[in-house]
Amino acid sequence: MVTIAIIIITALISIIAFSNEEVFRKFIFAPQYMSKTNEWQRFFTYGLLHGDWMHLIFNMYSFYLFGGIVEKMFNNIYENSGNLLFILLYLSALPVSSLVDYFQNRNNSRYMAVGASGAVSAVIFSSILIYPQMGIGIFPIPFHIPAYIFGPLFLGFSAYMAKNSNDNIGHSAHFYGALYGLIYTIITIPGIIPHFINEVF
C-alpha cells in the first residue's frame, strides 16, 4: 500500500533527524531562508520531519486511519493511475497548505515549521467526502462524531486558532490542507458531491 510506504519513509527520516541536526536543518520549512536561497524543495521536505515522537506518531497514525480509505477509492476508480493520484494528493498538499505561512513569514527569521499535518489534513478531508457518515473520535469526547459534522468544526477551530493562538501548532496548514483535500477530491472523483449529499441527507 502507498499509505504504508509513505508512513515508513516519513518515520525513518523523522527518526534520523531526531538525532541528526544537519538533516533537520536541511529539510526544515524556513520561509525567510527559502526566499533568499530559493531552496523550494523545503516545501516538501519539511513534511518528512517531526518535532518529537508524539508529533510523528499522531500524524502517521491519523494518516494510517484515513489514507487507506482514500487510496482504495482512487484505485477503484482509476485502477493503474489511482496510486499516482493518491501520491499527488499527499505531496501537493504539503506546499499548498504552507503557502500562506510562507508569504506571512518571509521576513520572520524565527519562523520555522515541520510535520506532515497539512498533507494529513488533506487526506482526512478527502475521506470525509467519500464516507461522510463514518465516526471520528476526538479525545477526550467519549463518543464518535459523524465525519460531516467533524469537518466544519475542524475548519472553524483551525481558522480561529490560526488567528488567535501562539502555541506553535500549524493551524493555518491544517485549515488550508483540509480545504485543498476537499477541492482535490471534488476535481478528481466524479460525482463525489452528489454522493456526499445523498449520504448525509
User: Cα–Cα–Cα angle for 171, 29, 31, nearest 5°?
Assistant: 90
The rounded distance, in Å, linking the Cα atoms of 199 and 201 is 6
The cell for 30 is 524556513
The sign of the CA dihedral 113, 162, 66, 91 is negative
Q: How far is residue 44's CA from residue 98's CA, in Å, rounded to a whole number?
A: 10
- pLDDT by residue (tens digit) across 5-50? 999 999 999 999 999 999 999 999 999 999 999 999 999 999 999 9
- pLDDT tens-digit readout, 119-165: 999 999 999 999 999 998 776 677 788 889 988 888 888 888 878 76
Residue type, 10: T
Residue range 101-113, pLDDT digits in tens = 999 999 998 899 9
- Which domain covers residue 12, as residue numbers? 2-200
**Could you give the CA distance from residue 3 to residue 127 in angstroms, rounded to a whole number?**
13
Q: What ranges make up the beta strands (E) of the chain?
A: 135-137, 144-146
Domain total in the chain = 1
Confidence grade of residue 168 (pLDDT, cut at 50, 70, 90): low
Using the predicted structure, report yes or no on whether residue 52 has a pLDDT greater than 70. yes
Q: What is the amino acid identity at position 154? A: F
CATH at 173: 1.20.1540.10
Helix 53-78 to helix 82-104 angle (10° resolution) is 140
Treating both helix axes as pointing N-terminal to C-terminal, what angle do 171-188 and 82-104 enclose, rounded to 10 degrees?
Answer: 140
Q: Do 46 and 61 meet the contact criterion of CB atoms below 8 Å apart? A: no
Supply the pLDDT for residue 143: 78
The pLDDT value recorded for residue 79 is: 85
